Chains A and B, each alone.
Chain A
């Protein structure tokens, strides 16, 4: 029997594209969440922790990032760690694993080759990535262990052919039949950021992506987890449990704006989302420009409520009515004429310039209101 934690794609030092200022928050959280992985390992009394590639985003990550990871490894020196280099932190000249600091981690084994490692009743079959340019199928590197005793665990990093219905154009392709062909009890994979498991020819889930331990972007599913894998004996069905380890709460919300009352509804909805760290709000619909100041104030306030607040207004538009029914009353004829002129411009301008016209209108209304106070 073997019990281990399957984790991957920590991608320490990642850019966090699209996150802007929140990038630094996410980068810090990714390091902190490693502790959660090991806490899960410790609580569950695992035999080892298996890291299936891309521990680091790049071989050229800073010494600080490497040092932070190594520090955590050393904090859990009782737990053996088996680390597979991925396509981001591949082996070869300049590999991050050539750095001297790794030689000081006693409980860490870095798979430098495809040589199998026997741990009592369990044999680990790693296929480390030697170059990010290799791109060839690595599944052929497994040995046929169908007749070998003990639990056989394959460890690789790449894209499972047909995994998400994509057959061509994937990088580091892995053929799922290798599990049956070579007699693996479990194929621990890294590369994809969402948790997924796949069955062998008998329908037993033997292939799994654990996903990244900390969510990277709003579009990822079931990220922020690691897997607790338990296999009783050779040929037994692996018991796979997803354990939460991500420290940041990500949330996305779509909201349709209909009229002024939508602002109140949105205010209430956002109150309920306060527990999240990184929040993405996608607005759609229309709103009269006279309520812009109010909506702006609400959205501005939200930026202080979350660690990161992203707003998408691609499908949202301010309405700028123009016509005899429109009542413009600044108690000043000149200001009234200015507003009418801006409204007329708003109906003519393209979307890019319209944003400035809308802002000018809003500013006029703000100034008018301030003048009355």
Chain B
């Protein structure tokens, strides 16, 4: 749809206004309250309001200066497709509506409500509805015609769906579909989770949870019932069998009785057998007794003989032990005598050794004293010379290094003094000042001023005028202080050494050096003689002398004088005597060790002899005891011979009884094959039958008990109730399963259609809107995201999705720009199946100039590309000078 012209009469501030719109863009401008927005109002009321509307808004259309009832009318010429139409509509007084098709002829199409409906059908719009009647839908005009009051895009539910594709009928999300989906989601959540899994508290699960224990209990009860039925069958069967078993037992008892009658001889044989066995047992007793007595008699005799033999052997051993003891005693005496002899010999050797040691010491001390005396004399002579030299030396309080340093300082002092004077500087120090400087020029002092600053002094000169001398006065003061210190140090050293000059100090120092050299030479010589002091040497001499004197008082026996001749080498003699002593001591030690061993051997021999004596005494006692026992056995049993004869007699009796028993057994075996076997078989059979009957009766009682126990529990009644409940729940389960499947199916189909239809339909608009916004904002907001109702929901991510900017986060300017871009995108897409008119009433309220300029560029581009018609209403025409089209002054 495109607008061609509008004509207003008696419409608010316009008593008459006719405007022709440009095919591309029309900018209607003018000051505030001049009726720009009134043009917009007239257009949408004309096209979409009922001619007979009496709403407050419609009543306000009449001019302010109107008196009484006034007719306000609007005439709109517009194009839909290739057809041109004229709609003339009058509100309030004489309200009416007339529609014409304009071509070669003006064709009347309808009037009043027919005209209104015709227009709405043409524009695919609906009549506006009041707020109380819910949503209204006036087609694409909600998006394309933007009043000042509705700058924001229509939000969810504000308006109906926009038809974006005429051919396929694809639309964006409609409010109805939205409601259906919400309603569906509520039902879906009853059965499923968001991931499509069955919800843990869904009716299906709950029913299943109720059913499972019931089924389990039912199965248990059914098993119980089955078990009782089996018990019942078993019981009946056993009850039928029992009389037969009892009858069988009675029959066996009868047979047994007859068999017993047939076996009377068997009883006699059995009795003889028992008698025979008793006799055999008795003979066995007598035999055992005789054998026992015989063996005890034999054992006693044997043991006595054994004891006597042992005693004889012990006696022999005892004799041998005594002989050995005597031999050890003799040996011990021999060793004792040898030890005594060697002990005497050792005494003699000790006497000789002591004498040899004394004589040797006396001789040696004498020589040592002579040597020490010679050393003392020589050392006394050297020490006297050193003392004499040292008395000629003068004491100085300075070292060679210090002297050298003093000499250097003296030279430095002289050089520095000379250098300062050469530089014409004389440094003085005035108390309390930083420092002063006298400046000479060619030896004449310049001016009278004396600088006291730290860095410069100013002096006057006749020829040069005032001269500024820059100097580091602090440093100069330091040099001066240094010179003073040097001078004082040199003087102190000279004074302390009691000399007049440094050269004099040098001469004395050199003489001292010579004396020191000679003293050190002598000292080295003295040390070479002996490092010990004279006092120590004298003390040692005294000790040596006293030691030698100790030996001088010793008397020498005749034996010693004879065996220790003093004309021999006393050292060799001493060594010889010491060796003799060691040898004798060694022999004596060996002899003593051997003697101790023999003593130990003697102790062992003595112990052995004692032990043999004790053992022999014990055997003698045992022999006597056993002889006593043997005597008692004789008195009780008689002799061994008597017992042997008794054994022979009892053995003969036993053999006779055994023969008799064998005969009885043979007779017994004969019966065993006959009547006895029958009796045994019957007895076994009766025992089996009685066991079977007993078991059968026990089983019957047990089964009876089980049946009664289960019967009293009311198992069947409980089963009845449970089965009714299971039946009821299963019925419910079936319905719930169908409902769950239905919901799943509906979701699948709904989502498939939703994706295939709505997403596809809105995709081009979303892409265009994003592209336009990127262009307008200089790629700042290219990620704008529109929902399925083409309302912006997100402005893009900032690295993390949770920090994505929502639409509400955007600035007013950005939101306005987004609204315009989306509207342009929708207009562009709608142009693909019909021409469209985009109306923007004062569009740039918040958008900055750079962005508004780009939006105008964008509109120009779309207008050129698609034939879109644009109508702008503004009070700032300068913003739209870039728009290709015409400008209309509303007041013109």
Interface of A toward B, CB cutoff 8 Å: 13-24, 27, 57-65, 92-96, 98-99, 131-133, 330-335, 337-338, 341-342, 345, 353, 355-360, 362-364, 367-368, 370-372
A346 to B601, CA, bound (A): 128
**Given contacts A19-B727, A94-B228, could you give 7 more A-B pairs where the C-beta distance is less than 8 Å?**
A20-B724, A24-B724, A27-B724, A93-B235, A332-B177, A333-B169, A342-B745
By a CB distance below 8 angstroms, the chain A residues around B708 are 93-94, 98
Question: Smallest distance from the beta carbon of B886 to chain A beta carbons, Å?
Answer: 40
By a CB distance below 8 angstroms, the chain A residues around B725 are 21
Determine whether the beta carbon of A371 is less than 8 Å from that of B720.
Answer: no
Interface stretch, picked from B427-435, B734-742, B792-800, is: B734-742
Known contacts A61-B716, A335-B180; is-contact A356 B742 (Cβ 8 Å) = yes
Interchain Cβ contacts within 8 Å, total number = 169
Other-chain contact of B703, A23, A60, A93, A331 (Cβ < 8 Å): A93
Determine whether the beta carbon of A356 is less than 8 Å from that of B180.
Answer: no
Known contacts A27-B720, A334-B757, A371-B183; is-contact A60 B746 (Cβ 8 Å) = no
Question: Smallest distance from the beta carbon of B222 to chain A beta carbons, Å?
Answer: 11
Known contacts A332-B176, A337-B753, A342-B745; is-contact A17 B727 (Cβ 8 Å) = yes
Question: Smallest distance from the beta carbon of B325 to chain A beta carbons, Å?
Answer: 106
By a CB distance below 8 angstroms, the chain B residues around A360 are 742-743, 745-746, 749
Determine whether the beta carbon of B743 is less than 8 Å from that of A330.
Answer: no
Determine whether the beta carbon of B232 is less than 8 Å from that of A371.
Answer: no
Other-chain contact of A61, B180, B717, B742 (Cβ < 8 Å): B717
Known contacts A17-B723, A57-B716, A359-B739; is-contact A330 B176 (Cβ 8 Å) = yes
By a CB distance below 8 angstroms, the chain A residues around B753 are 334, 337-338, 341
Determine whether the beta carbon of B184 is less than 8 Å from that of A367.
Answer: yes
Known contacts A133-B232, A359-B742, A371-B183; is-contact A333 B727 (Cβ 8 Å) = no
B316 within 8 A of A: no
Known contacts A60-B714, A94-B711, A334-B757; is-contact A367 B727 (Cβ 8 Å) = no
A63 to B750, CA, bound (A): 57
A19 to B727, CA, bound (A): 8
Query: In the complex, what residue of chain B is closest to A94 when comparing beta carbons?
Result: B707
Determine whether the beta carbon of A20 is less than 8 Å from that of B717.
Answer: no
Determine whether the beta carbon of B176 is less than 8 Å from that of A372.
Answer: yes
Question: Smallest distance from the beta carbon of A205 to chain B beta carbons, Å?
Answer: 35
Query: In the complex, what residue of chain B is closest to A19 when comparing beta carbons?
Result: B724
Determine whether the beta carbon of B731 is less than 8 Å from that of A20.
Answer: yes
Known contacts A92-B232, A93-B707; is-contact A337 B723 (Cβ 8 Å) = no
Known contacts A57-B720, A332-B174, A338-B753; is-contact A371 B710 (Cβ 8 Å) = no
Which residues of B213-249 have CB atoms within 8 Å of chain A's CB atoms? 225, 228, 232-233, 235-236
Other-chain contact of A60, B187, B225, B721, B724 (Cβ < 8 Å): B225
Query: In the complex, what residue of chain A is closest to B726 when comparing beta carbons?
Result: A20
Other-chain contact of B720, A23, A131, A133, A353 (Cβ < 8 Å): A23
Known contacts A20-B727, A60-B711, A331-B176; is-contact A15 B742 (Cβ 8 Å) = no
Known contacts A93-B232, A131-B236, A363-B742; is-contact A63 B757 (Cβ 8 Å) = no
The 5 A-B pairs of least Cβ separation, nearest first, read A62-B714, A23-B724, A94-B707, A359-B742, A356-B741
Known contacts A59-B711, A333-B169, A333-B170; is-contact A368 B723 (Cβ 8 Å) = no
A99 to B739, CA, bound (A): 49
A17 to B225, CA, bound (A): 17
Determine whether the beta carbon of A364 is less than 8 Å from that of B746.
Answer: yes
Determine whether the beta carbon of A13 is less than 8 Å from that of B716.
Answer: yes
B713 within 8 A of A: yes
Can you list 19 A-B pairs with a CB-CB distance of less than 8 A? A13-B716, A13-B717, A16-B724, A17-B723, A20-B731, A21-B725, A23-B724, A94-B228, A94-B707, A133-B233, A133-B236, A332-B177, A338-B746, A338-B753, A356-B745, A364-B180, A364-B746, A367-B187, A368-B180
Determine whether the beta carbon of B712 is less than 8 Å from that of A341.
Answer: no
Query: In the complex, what residue of chain A is closest to B700 when comparing beta carbons?
Result: A93
Query: In the complex, what residue of chain A is closest to B134 when comparing beta carbons?
Result: A372
By a CB distance below 8 angstroms, the chain B residues around A64 are 714, 717
By a CB distance below 8 angstroms, the chain A residues around B235 are 92-93
B171 within 8 A of A: yes
Query: In the complex, what residue of chain B is closest to A342 when comparing beta carbons?
Result: B749
By a CB distance below 8 angstroms, the chain B residues around A94 are 228, 232, 704, 707-708, 710-711
Which residues of B735-771 have CB atoms within 8 Å of chain A's CB atoms? 738-739, 741-743, 745-746, 749-750, 752-754, 757-758
Known contacts A94-B708, A331-B176, A359-B738; is-contact A16 B720 (Cβ 8 Å) = yes
Determine whether the beta carbon of B727 is less than 8 Å from that of A60.
Answer: no
- Interface size band for B: 35 or more
Other-chain contact of B727, A18, A61, A358 (Cβ < 8 Å): A18
A360 to B731, CA, bound (A): 19
By a CB distance below 8 angstroms, the chain A residues around B724 are 15-16, 19-24, 27
Determine whether the beta carbon of B232 is less than 8 Å from that of A357.
Answer: no
Determine whether the beta carbon of B713 is less than 8 Å from that of A60.
Answer: yes
Question: Smallest distance from the beta carbon of A19 to chain B beta carbons, Å?
Answer: 7
A204 to B179, CA, bound (A): 76
Determine whether the beta carbon of B728 is less than 8 Å from that of A341.
Answer: no
By a CB distance below 8 angstroms, the chain A residues around B716 are 13, 57-62
A355 to B745, CA, bound (A): 11
By a CB distance below 8 angstroms, the chain B residues around A358 are 742
B718 within 8 A of A: yes
B719 within 8 A of A: yes
Known contacts A13-B716, A62-B717, A333-B757; is-contact A338 B723 (Cβ 8 Å) = no
B715 within 8 A of A: yes
Other-chain contact of B728, A20, A60, A353 (Cβ < 8 Å): A20
Determine whether the beta carbon of A370 is less than 8 Å from that of B183.
Answer: yes
A61 to B719, CA, bound (A): 9
Determine whether the beta carbon of A60 is less than 8 Å from that of B738.
Answer: no
A109 to B710, CA, bound (A): 25
By a CB distance below 8 angstroms, the chain B residues around A23 are 720-721, 723-724, 727-728
A115 to B711, CA, bound (A): 26
A19 to B225, CA, bound (A): 22
By a CB distance below 8 angstroms, the chain A residues around B169 are 333
Query: In the complex, what residue of chain A is closest to B720 when comparing beta carbons?
Result: A15
A372 to B174, CA, bound (A): 12
A235 to B704, CA, bound (A): 44
Other-chain contact of B171, A62, A333, A341, A353 (Cβ < 8 Å): A333
By a CB distance below 8 angstroms, the chain A residues around B713 are 60
By a CB distance below 8 angstroms, the chain A residues around B714 are 13, 60-65
Known contacts A15-B723, A94-B710; is-contact A62 B232 (Cβ 8 Å) = no
Query: In the complex, what residue of chain A is closest to B727 when comparing beta carbons?
Result: A20
A99 to B718, CA, bound (A): 18
Question: Smallest distance from the beta carbon of B787 to chain A beta carbons, Å?
Answer: 15
Question: Smallest distance from the beta carbon of A217 to chain B beta carbons, Å?
Answer: 13
Determine whether the beta carbon of A341 is less than 8 Å from that of B704.
Answer: no
Determine whether the beta carbon of B187 is less than 8 Å from that of A334.
Answer: no
Other-chain contact of B176, A19, A27, A61, A368 (Cβ < 8 Å): A368
By a CB distance below 8 angstroms, the chain A residues around B710 are 60, 94
By a CB distance below 8 angstroms, the chain A residues around B720 are 13-16, 23, 27, 57
By a CB distance below 8 angstroms, the chain A residues around B232 are 92-94, 131-133
A63 to B717, CA, bound (A): 9
Known contacts A13-B720, A92-B232, A341-B749; is-contact A357 B742 (Cβ 8 Å) = yes
Question: Smallest distance from the beta carbon of A371 to chain B beta carbons, Å?
Answer: 4
By a CB distance below 8 angstroms, the chain A residues around B161 are 332
Question: Smallest distance from the beta carbon of A218 to chain B beta carbons, Å?
Answer: 15
By a CB distance below 8 angstroms, the chain A residues around B704 are 93-94
Which of B171, B233, B708 has most chain A Cβ within 10 Å? B708
Which of A92, A341, A356 has most chain B Cβ within 10 Å? A356
Binary contact track B401-412/A, C-beta < 8 Å → 1, others 0: 000000000000
Binary contact track B233-276/A, C-beta < 8 Å → 1, others 0: 10110000000000000000000000000000000000000000
Determine whether the beta carbon of B754 is less than 8 Å from that of A367.
Answer: no
A62 to B719, CA, bound (A): 10
Binary contact track B683-719/A, C-beta < 8 Å → 1, others 0: 0000000000000000000011001101111111111
